[in-house]
Amino acid sequence: MVETDASEILLRVPARAPYARLVRVGAAALALRQGMSFGEIDDLRLAIDEAMIVLLDGLGEAAESDIDVVFRMADGQFELEATRSAEGDISAAAVHRFDAIASELVDDYDIDPSHGWVRLRKTPTADDE
């Protein structure tokens, strides 16, 4: 069932590090529209940087791959779902790094290393400045 106040934005970027910035900047702009504070947006941007590092794990600069990103906003919640088109597992080390750095920055996340998929969720808090 789709929420009537839900918004969904799709973005496809080449699976190369310089394009991660587009995902991060787009997410920050959308999170601001969702009412997140600057501190929450900084946390989200760092978590997205780490998610992109996970998705780029094991891919060379010459890899012909894309990352498809879906931004969803509904009921004040921000969600990012990103999938890489390249086949191949994401290393356990990359997943561990994400968990160590980004797990406290978002409310919820899932990573599927065998399918190259990451999902993050964050809801703005009323008291954060």
For residue range 21-72, list pLDDT tens digits in order.
Answer: 999 999 999 988 888 899 999 999 999 999 999 999 877 665 688 999 999 9
Query: Which H/E stretch holds residue 41?
Result: helix 38-56
pLDDT of residue 96: 94
pTM: 0.84
pLDDT of 128 higher than 70: no
Handedness of CA 60, 61, 64, 67 (dihedral sign): positive
Please give the domain boundaries of the chain with CATH numbers for all domains. 7-122 (3.30.565.10)
Q: What span, in angstroms and rounded, lies between the C-alpha atoms of 84 and 128?
A: 33
